[in-house]
Amino acid sequence: MTNKEYNLINAFQYIKTFYREVAQMLEDIQELMDKEGWTSMGGSAVTADLSKSLDNPDIWIPYYLYKNFTNDEEGNYKKGILVFFDIENNKFPISIVYGNVNISDQKHDRWDIWRLWYNNKDKLKDLTGEIMPVKTEYNGKKIDGKLIAIPLTDISTKECLKEKVVDKLLNLE
């Protein structure tokens, strides 16, 4: 085996390992949220915006993941998580962004947390971990919420995940 082949095999193994670790993190979040009455929306789906085209290889693999949660008692008040790891495609640091969204009497869709992030990402780029009240509008729908952004590398264990992400997410009002 040549050095190039060895490096290529190692690169793909590393990517697979990384995605498995992020999947485990999202499963842990889902488990912790379920215990508090917040159920996952959209089943096990976590990716979007992927290309199947030869013309767009930069997005053959996901550069971000999402997960949304609902609680029947809360109406249109939802919580969600975004994980970003390809700074070239999204111009945002490798991070986990999480928060809530309130759309009052309008229908919620899976993109509301993403839209809040997208239209307010400059406020979050420093990854300070502080709660940022944010607003946006999409097709006449007013979206209010609060987002928090921290470096993905700050999450090392399930206990750390609970403390730095899930507990803060659950306490957002």
Tokens describing residue 110: 């899976």
Sign for the CA dihedral angle at 39, 160, 131, 124 comes to negative
Give the per-residue pLDDT at 151: 95
The number of folded domains in the chain is 1
The SS3 of residue 114 is helix
Q: Could you tell me the residue range of the domain that residue 59 belongs to?
A: 3-171
In the predicted model, what is the mean pLDDT of residues 67-76? 83
- pLDDT exceeds cutoff 80 at 92: yes
Integer CA distances (angstroms), 121 to 97, 127, 134, 141, 168, in order: 10, 10, 10, 19, 19
- pLDDT exceeds cutoff 80 at 108: no
Comparing 18-27, 72-81, 91-100, the range with the smallest average pLDDT is 72-81
- The confidence band for 99, taking pLDDT boundaries of 50, 70 and 90, is very high
Angle at 126 between CA 84 and CA 79, to 5 degrees: 50
pLDDT digits (tens, 9 = 90+) for 9-66: 999 999 999 999 999 999 999 999 999 999 998 888 888 888 889 998 888 888 899 9
Tokens describing residue 48: 């979007």
Phi, psi dihedrals of residue 111, rounded to the nearest 5°: -95, -5
Cβ neighbours of residue 67 closer than 8 Å, sequence gap 6 or more: 26, 29, 30, 40, 42, 46, 80, 81
Residue 145 contacts residue 116 (beta carbons within 8 Å): yes
- pLDDT exceeds cutoff 70 at 1: yes
- pLDDT exceeds cutoff 70 at 116: yes
Query: Considering the chain, what is the average pLDDT of its residues?
Result: 90
- pLDDT exceeds cutoff 70 at 77: yes
In the predicted model, what is the mean pLDDT of residues 131-160? 93
Give the per-residue pLDDT at 139: 86
- The confidence band for 106, taking pLDDT boundaries of 50, 70 and 90, is low
The SS3 of residue 90 is helix
Of all residues in the chain, the percent with pLDDT exceeding 70 is: 97
Cβ neighbours of residue 114 closer than 8 Å, sequence gap 6 or more: 66, 80, 82
In the predicted model, what is the mean pLDDT of residues 151-169? 95
Give one word for 49, left, alpha or beta, with left for phi > 0 and alpha for psi -120 to 50: left
